Amino acid sequence: MKHTIQALVENKFGVLARVASLFSARGYNISSLAVGETQDPSMSCMTIVVNAEDERMLQQIKNQLQKLIDVITVIDFTHKKYIDRELILCKIERVEENKNVITKLIKQFPVKVIEETDEYFLLEICADTQQIKEILKEVKKIEIKELVRAGKIAIGK
């Protein structure tokens, strides 16, 4: 099962490597990871989506993270209310039939066309995990030229 956890970490070089090597050394599976500075420039926030087989493994992952000296706190969103967002940038070929699909998408979902060229439409999709899933299902019906996706970020309510 996928769990969203968040680690506040010291904003020092090597911290990402410490977290990443912890996960690889212990065989934990990261499905997404997003890192960025917080309001306090001495701290970064990592939002990590992990696959944990059971409660014990999830607890172990949290404890192992907390054990790293550069990790300040660990928050588990599994039983908490939170808001999350994922960001996708996606190029779609500029042909007539795609235009119709995109117009439909924009009406229904938080999708924006942020650039148009002779060759493509550039879409920006910013939504929560559930919605992203639905949007991608629609988008994948047409031909995608290029798609990039950022890790999920989350904030507690």
Nearer to another protein, 23 or 121 (CB): 23
Residue 152, judged by CB atoms within 10 A of its CB (0-12, 13-18, 19+), counts as buried
Site for another protein in 110-149 (CB under 8 A): none
Binding range to another protein, per CB under 8 A, among 20-28, 80-88, 97-105, 118-126: 20-28
Question: Which residues contact residue 13 at a Cβ distance below 8 angstroms, ignoring those fewer than 6 apart?
Answer: none
Residue of 27, 39, 53, 56 that binds another protein (CB under 8 A)? 56
Instruction: Compute the least distance from the CB of residue 67 to another protein, in Å.
Output: 5
Handedness of CA 127, 22, 65, 26 (dihedral sign): positive
CB 144 within 8 A of CB 90: yes
Site for another protein in 23-52 (CB under 8 A): 25
**Phi, psi (degrees; rounded to nearest 5) at 135:** -65, -45
Query: Does 99 contact another protein by CB under 8 A?
Result: no
Residue type at position 55: E
Which residues would be at the binding site for another protein (CB under 8 A)? 10, 14, 17-18, 21-22, 25, 56, 59-60, 63-64, 66-67, 69-73
